[in-house]
Structure 1
Amino acid sequence: MDLSQGTASLSDDALQDHLLQGVSRTFALTIPQLPPALAKPVSNAYLLCRIVDTIEDEVALDSIQKRRFCQQFAQVVRGREPPESLRDALAPLLSDQTLPAERELIGLIPRVVAITHGFAEEQQDALACCVEIMARGMAEFQDRDLRHGLATMAEMDAYCYYVAGVVGEMLTRLFCHYSPELAAHRAAMMQLAVSFGQGLQMTNILKDLWDDHGRGVCWLPRSIFDAHGYDLRGLKPSHDSPAFRAGFQDLIGIARGHLHNALRYTLFIPPQETGLREFCLWALGMAVLTLRKINRHLDFAVSSEVKITRRAVKVTILTSRLFRAYNPLLKASFALATAGLPPEPHRPLLPAQPPES
């Protein structure tokens, strides 16, 4: 099954932009802010991760098939197996629930991976490591009964690492390959990158709570809610439980702490790297606004009720552009935007300090 004929004439950059427009309008918006030397590998990295997501989300595949296809894809990215074999085996199994854009992406696996193999060795290794860790970790959680949540906060941390923290590590490797100035802070940034990823992922988990619940999945940690006397086995929309709201606000506070680290991460980026700063600030700003909306509507029953507006996105972009070069203003803006959120946990979340400027 070859879906590449209609896109054969597109350049690599045009192809990746076309695919991103189909599978993620958010990244199609933020990635072009990066310098060209980074935009191409970062676009490719997102598409590779989306292929893993598509495999893991495919309802027509059982857990054994998902694990096998993910392992095969990791070998394809490493250049150890032909991409055509994976495409030809996987594409016919996709169900009608798979989005047309995701179906197109699967059909174009050989082209996407050919772009991967054109990057520098360090860039290729960063992308391949990310795919390997993500595929292995996501397969582990696919085998679990997730109807009533994860057992502990540590399990939520692990899940967030596999789906987002590892992406932060991969992006940091790409950033450090691009900039020797950033490479000087690699150790601190790698640690904060995991926290950055977790903040974004936790925000999505909280926002998508009822969408996930509707398909029989819950990513909330039972231990957080047990401490307030709420049993997640009784979770349902339109509830009226102060105990649940208390546990939910604890998670908002933890997400806030991780997003604070996202700001610390961003401040390591030199102010003259405007594209890199904007790439991070836009994601951070939209996550903070989403947390604020969730916190104001703890009784929401569908994710659309806490989705930020296009106007809020535009305000985030404008504020980022105005303040991006001024660390004190960015810190003050973050403090103001998060002032009404539940407090960060007492335990510090990777308190690395970037240089002042």
Structure 2
Amino acid sequence: MDKARAIEYQNAILPHVSRTFALTIPQLPDALQDVVGNSYLLCRIADTIEDEPALTAEQKSTYLKMFSEVVAAKEKPELLAEQLHPLLTDWTLKAERDLVQNTPIVIEITHDCTPNQREIMERCISTMSSGMAEFCAKQQLATVDELKDYCYYVAGVVGELLTDLFCDFSEEIARSRDKLITLSVSFGKGLQMVNILKDVWVDASRGVTWLPAELFRVSKNADGTTSSDPVLTVEGMRKLIGTTYEYLSQALQYSLMIPTREVGIRRFLLWTLGMAVLTLRRINKNPNFQRGDNVKISRNQVAATTFVANSIVGFNFLIDSLFRALTRGLPGNSKKS
């Protein structure tokens, strides 16, 4: 398949696996759109392997390692697709199954990227895959610190990837790389924490929770044994909301460090950050929600986010002021409430 048709597939599948990134990636400079879109699809393939409930922990570890080798051109993508696709069940979205089946097309774009871009992408997927394999045998994490580690492997590394791609694109951005790399990890972790909180019931339906056991209320049974309540306490939820707020605060600082002339990159970041903040506000307002739809932001809110972000994209003071206003009252932000 020629590159034009491969890019056509990439652009067609993206909205079906992530409406958010399908909306934000086109805001990037032309030179970054294809490589960032391809990087997201690579991460989504790894995520699909991790999330498929019919795969054993051993199978997940095997296919995650195999996928990392595919990205590094050490294994054939056709072999991965042939082996993995038949094992995916209806628990995995149809679009994600299609993505896995078309791994060779995605990898064709990956291997057509520049040497620097390929090195960045390979490093991210290698770290992500090995980290996911480490956690895939666990049905529940024990502590908040363990949750933070998990968020690094599945999302913090994506922040690092984006930063290195931005630095490869812009010498001006590259001069701030050391500070940006640190903040980018928090950006990725913050987005992942929002997703974990929002998708808690979806994950529970397949027998998995990423919420740490130490935040659940433990009851003593008549026979002397103990058991955890199936629902996280409001106090526990608010603690996680506070942690997420701290990450998103650093994501704001990351966004403000991008030069104002890089309007496309700023839009990409601010649209993403804005939607995450609005979702977190809804979770905080209704911590006992029973369905993801209860805290999902509306299309009108998405449209308002993009409009406002575009209007103030070059004004750091206004962006910072709006963030403070939107996060007022969130746990961890009591000093500003």
Residues 344 and 137 (structure 1 numbering): CA distance in 2 closer, same or farther, change over 3 Å? farther
Please say which of residues 244-253 and 286-295 is displaced more in the overlay. Answer: 244-253
- Equivalent in the alignment of 1:291: 280
Q: Distance in 1 between matches of 2:25 and 2:239?
A: 32
Q: CA deviation at 1:252?
A: 0.9
Q: Distance in 2 between matches of 1:173 and 1:9?
A: 24
- Equivalent in the alignment of 1:62: 56
Q: Distance in 2 between matches of 1:74 and 1:345?
A: 43
- Equivalent in the alignment of 1:254: 243
Q: CA deviation at 1:107?
A: 1.8
Match of 1:139 among 133, 136, 139: 133
Q: Following superposition, which runs of at least 4 residues in structure 1 exceed 4 angstroms of deviation?
A: 224-227
Q: Distance in 1 between matches of 2:216 and 2:53?
A: 30
Match of 1:339 among 328, 331, 334: 328
% identical aligned pairs: 47
Q: Aligned partner of 2:294: which letter?
A: E
Residues 183 and 226 (structure 1 numbering): CA distance in 2 closer, same or farther, change over 3 Å? farther
Question: Does 2:229 align with 1:234?
Answer: yes
Q: Aligned partner of 1:323: which letter?
A: I
Please, what TM-score do these two structures have when normalized by structure 1? 0.87
Q: Distance in 1 between matches of 2:301 and 2:227?
A: 32
Tell me the secondary structure at the aligned position of residue 207 of structure 2: coil
- Equivalent in the alignment of 2:81: 87
Q: Distance in 2 between matches of 1:9 and 1:301?
A: 44
Q: Distance in 1 between matches of 2:48 and 2:108?
A: 19
Q: CA deviation at 1:226?
A: 6.5
Question: Does 2:190 align with 1:214?
Answer: no
Contact 2:7-2:109 within 8 A present in 1 as well: no
Tell me the secondary structure at the aligned position of residue 12 of structure 1: helix
Q: Aligned partner of 1:260: which letter?
A: S
Question: Does 2:262 align with 1:270?
Answer: no
- Equivalent in the alignment of 2:108: 114
Question: Does 2:67 align with 1:73?
Answer: yes
Unaligned runs of 5+ in 2: 219-225
Residues 210 and 97 (structure 1 numbering): CA distance in 2 closer, same or farther, change over 3 Å? closer
Q: Distance in 2 between matches of 1:90 and 1:129?
A: 22
Unaligned runs of 5+ in 1: 347-357
Q: Distance in 1 between matches of 2:159 and 2:301?
A: 24
Please, what TM-score do these two structures have when normalized by structure 2? 0.92
Contact 1:74-1:135 within 8 A present in 2 as well: yes
Question: Does 2:322 align with 1:327?
Answer: no
- Equivalent in the alignment of 1:349: none
Q: Distance in 1 between matches of 2:156 and 2:162?
A: 10
- Equivalent in the alignment of 2:223: none
Q: CA deviation at 1:108?
A: 1.4
Contact 1:225-1:232 within 8 A present in 2 as well: no
Match of 1:167 among 158, 162, 175: 158
Q: CA deviation at 1:287?
A: 0.8
Measured on the aligned residues, the alpha-carbon RMSD in Å equals: 2.1
Please say which of residues 86-95 and 33-42 is displaced more in the overlay. Answer: 86-95
Q: Across the two proteins, how many residue pairs are aligned to each other?
A: 329
Q: CA deviation at 1:16?
A: 1.1
Q: Distance in 2 between matches of 1:232 and 1:33?
A: 49
